């Protein structure tokens, strides 16, 4: 099945709001093995929206429209669908119940323009919206399925997961039986290298393999279609073995696993504890290592200050002289925090401007230091860009380096 997504709202085109609905629906559709070839955004214009629906119907089996189901004049999705399919808009009993229920529960009178939300194209059916005034709509016509959903993310997300996905699963069941998926999560490898190593496997049609680059991670979704769930799971397991044989040292988890969780797990398995000293990363590293399940057994302390001098003046680390060079400072801090809290691992990050005169943007040398019971390791990275992004990246990079060393003995 091929799907095309249409997102309506001039505010999206003006950049006033972020389209999080796209990520939600695309993720859910990929789990079902439904292909999305096009995604477009249309302003609040009846003719353009109707034209977009007609165009989508020419190249997709499933057309999902998000937004434009409110009570105001610029909410035009239902009208656009009716025009595109040359159908009359009729008041729907179920849709009217959804609209009235919202106001009745709150003891608020509804206005006449809210009745617009009870209109459904002839032959279509309303979808319940448990938390809003705008019912969704499903119209099946000439072999195509059209779904209209409200734009507010809370309503959209709930309706997608509780109603649209089950509806699509029932439609697909007659075609393929069962669809199963599993996500392998990688760190320490880029999407391009992963593609190179798995090139032939990525061309598989069943199960399919779809990589997605994340922040310092790559996720690989394996999706299998079969008549029985056991067969689909067997197909996924077989493919996972082939992938693991090639890139197993980069796989830190599956499905809902997180990288901080993977670090915590391996620390627990090895009976190790960790402490960190932060100024540049501003507590982001402490949060990652302290919030994972089981962190109470591994994370001992995280010291956060505006700069290294504050740590010295407050005597948090019983420091004497802090090295001036960032590289030596990072190593010094990692060792001191490990000793101060009697942990197996101490971590620190230091930054200094890079001496690259030919570059017009600010560049920095980023040093990540770890002390593993007296065994010092250091990672130097040249970075250019905003400080906020660099701090976030540094905290994440620490977890990548930690996991690869603790799990596979790969040095920094």
Cβ-based neighbour number of residue 392 at 10 Å? 16
Same domain, 142 and 12: yes
Same domain, 110 and 46: yes
**What is the residue-averaged pLDDT of the chain?**
89
Q: Which of 106, 122, 41 is nearest to 114 (CA)?
A: 106
How confident is the model at residue 265, as a pLDDT? 96
The pTM assigned to this predicted structure is 0.69
Phi-psi region of 313 (alpha: psi -120 to 50; beta: other; left: phi over 0): alpha
Same domain, 139 and 206: no
Percent of the chain clearing pLDDT 70 (strictly above): 93
Choose the final residue of a domain: 159, 175, 191. Answer: 175
Domain span at 32: 2-175
Same domain, 240 and 198: yes
Helix%, strand%, coil% for the chain, nearest 5: 45, 25, 30
Tokens matching residue 288: 């990652």
Same domain, 118 and 239: no
Residue 117 maps to which CATH number?
3.40.980.10
How confident is the model at residue 319, as a pLDDT? 53
Tokens matching residue 399: 């977890």
Does residue 323 or residue 233 have the better pLDDT?
A: 233
Give the Cα separation of 402 and 387 in Å (integer): 22
Choose the final residue of a domain: 235, 254, 273. Answer: 254
Residue 313 maps to which CATH number?
3.90.950.20
Give the Cα separation of 136 and 104 in Å (integer): 19
DSSP string, 84-101: HHT--EEE-HHHHHHHHH
Same domain, 245 and 274: no
Does residue 229 or residue 144 have the better pLDDT?
A: 144
Same domain, 235 and 161: no
Question: pLDDT band for position 304 (50/70/90)?
Answer: confident
How confident is the model at residue 316, as a pLDDT? 55
Distances from the Cα of 365 to the Cαs of 325, 353, 410, in angstroms? 11, 6, 22
**Which stretches does DSSP call E strand in 35-166?**
35-42, 62-66, 89-91, 119-121, 125-127, 136-141, 144-149
Tokens matching residue 242: 């082939």
Same domain, 23 and 159: yes
Same domain, 41 and 119: yes
Choose the final residue of a domain: 146, 175, 204. Answer: 175
Residue 203 maps to which CATH number?
3.30.70.2860
Same domain, 70 and 188: no
Q: What's the pLDDT tens digit per position in 169-213?
A: 888 876 656 778 899 999 999 888 998 999 899 889 899 888 888
Same domain, 218 and 78: no
DSSP string, 277-343: EESSSTTHHHHHHHHSTTGGGTEEEEEE-SSHHHHHHTTSS--S---SSHHHHHHHHHHHHHHHTT-
How confident is the model at residue 141, as a pLDDT? 96
What length is written for the chain?
412
pLDDT(358) > 60: no
Question: pLDDT band for position 388 (50/70/90)?
Answer: confident
* Count of structural domains, the chain: 3
Same domain, 47 and 16: yes
């Amino acid at each position: 099945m091929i799907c095309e997504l249409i997102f309506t709202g001039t505010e999206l085109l003006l950049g006033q709001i972020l389209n999080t609905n796209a990520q939600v629906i695309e993720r859910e559709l990929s789990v079902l093995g439904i292909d999305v070839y096009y995604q477009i955004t249309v302003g609040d214009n009846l003719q353009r929206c109707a034209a977009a629906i007609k165009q989508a119907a020419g190249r997709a089996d499933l057309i999902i429209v998000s937004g434009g189901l409110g009570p105001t004049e610029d909410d035009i999705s239902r009208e656009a669908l009716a025009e595109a399919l040359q159908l009359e808009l009729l008041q729907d009993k179920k849709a009217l119940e959804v609209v009235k229920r919202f106001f009745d529960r709150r003891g608020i009178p509804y206005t006449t323009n809210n009745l617009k939300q009870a209109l459904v194209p002839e032959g279509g059916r309303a979808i319940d919206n448990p938390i809003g005034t705008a019912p969704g709509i499903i119209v099946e016509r000439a072999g195509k399925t059209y779904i209209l959903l409200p734009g507010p993310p809370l309503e959209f997300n709930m309706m997608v997961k509780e109603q649209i996905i089950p509806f699509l699963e029932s439609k697909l069941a007659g075609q393929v039986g069962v669809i199963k998926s599993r996500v392998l999560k990688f760190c320490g490898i880029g999407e391009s290298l992963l593609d190179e190593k798995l090139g032939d496997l990525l061309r598989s049609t069943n199960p399919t393999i779809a990589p997605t680059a994340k922040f310092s991670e790559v996720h690989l979704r394996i999706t299998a279609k079969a008549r029985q769930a056991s067969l689909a799971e067997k197909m996924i397991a077989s493919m996972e073995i082939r992938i693991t044989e090639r890139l197993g040292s980069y796989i830190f988890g599956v499905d809902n696993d997180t990288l901080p969780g993977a670090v915590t797990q391996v620390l627990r398995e090895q009976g190790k504890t960790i402490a960190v000293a932060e100024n540049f990363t501003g507590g982001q590293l402490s949060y990652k290592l302290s919030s994972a399940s089981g962190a109470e057994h591994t994370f001992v302390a995280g010291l956060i200050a505006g700069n290294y001098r504050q740590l010295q003046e407050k005597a948090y680390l019983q420091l004497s002289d802090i090295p001036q060079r960032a590289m030596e400072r990072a190593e010094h801090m990692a060792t001191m925090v490990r000793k101060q809290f009697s942990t197996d691992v101490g971590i620190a990050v230091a930054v200094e401007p890079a001496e690259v005169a030919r570059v017009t943007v600010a560049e920095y040398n980023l040093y990540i230091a770890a002390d593993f019971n007296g065994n010092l390791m250091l990672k130097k990275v040249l970075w250019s860009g905003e400080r906020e992004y660099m701090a976030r990246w540094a905290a994440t990079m620490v977890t990548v380096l930690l996991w690869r060393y603790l799990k596979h003995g790969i040095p920094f």
